[in-house]
Chain A
Amino acid sequence: QQQVRQSSQSLTVWEGETAILNCSYENSAFDYFPWYQQFPGEGPALLIAIRSVSDKKEDGRFTIFFNKREKNLSLHIKDSQPGDSATYFCAASYSNNRIFFGDGTQLVVKP
């Protein structure tokens, strides 16, 4: 059973638009939700993360919106740039256990 689901395999936006990547999860015990960014030829790297006690986390152009009741979250990338083109993985974990990853969304930002 897929613990973390990302609704889109791919997403294309124009430069300057807001890219919205959606994610949902199964296990109500999850309390930590990181998003990882991966460029070709590299390993994923932590981009931004939120804990379940919060409903929003902002870091520059990147914002996570979290809905505990609905068990979903989204990553908003404001003013998207071509350099943001990458694969984004939504993930979840609880109590310092292993992290469960979604299948990833490949974002393309067209100039």
Chain B
Amino acid sequence: NAGVIQTPRHKVTGKGQEATLWCEPISGHSAVFWYRQTIVQGLEFLTYFRNQAPIDDSGMPKERFSAQMPNQSHSTLKIQSTQPQDSAVYLCASSFTGENTLYFGAGTRLSVL
């Protein structure tokens, strides 16, 4: 079991460009979570899916951020018109339904210049 796989590990974008981050959850896990981590804000919840359906996106910035889970094997987080304040490590995690344990990927470090 390779664990949660996030790609790319590092992404550099220019201000105003689009960034798409990918997450492959652990096979058999039905819940997928996205978090953003910065020194200042810590671990911020963004959104999560259960059985591919969006359950709670209360942490997503209302503009420019969107997340999808088109199938059970991957989820994407898209940031349009990236801004320097979007620079962070974006973490994806998955879990079994009915369990509280989150298994995190290593994250994607996004740098917006």
Residues of chain A having any CB pair with chain B under 8 Å: 32, 34, 36, 41-46, 49, 89, 93, 96, 98-104
Complex interface: chain B residues within 8 A of A103 (CB): 42-43
Q: B105 to chain A: which residues have CB within 8 Å?
A: 43
Q: Knowing A41-B106, A43-B4, A43-B105 touch, does A96 contact B98 (C-beta < 8 A)?
A: yes
Determine whether B21 belongs to the interface, using a CB cutoff of 8 Å to chain A.
no
Write the chain B residue with the least CB distance to A89: B43
User: A89 to B35, alpha carbons, bound, how many Å?
Assistant: 14
B67 located at the interface, meaning its Cβ lies under 8 Å from any Cβ of chain A in the complex: no
Question: Judging by beta carbons under 8 Å apart, are B43 and A101 in contact?
Answer: yes
Contact-residue size bin, chain B (C-beta under 8 Å from the other chain): 20 to 34
Contact call B107/A43, Cβ cutoff below 8 A: yes
The 29 listed contacts between A and B (C-beta, < 8 Å) are A32-B100, A34-B100, A34-B101, A41-B106, A42-B106, A42-B107, A43-B4, A43-B91, A43-B106, A43-B107, A44-B43, A44-B104, A46-B101, A49-B100, A49-B101, A93-B100, A96-B97, A96-B98, A96-B99, A98-B33, A98-B45, A98-B48, A98-B56, A99-B100, A99-B102, A101-B42, A103-B42, A104-B42, A104-B43
Chain B residues, Cβ within 8 Å of A89: 43
> Which residues of B sit under 8 angstroms from A34, Cβ to Cβ?
100-101
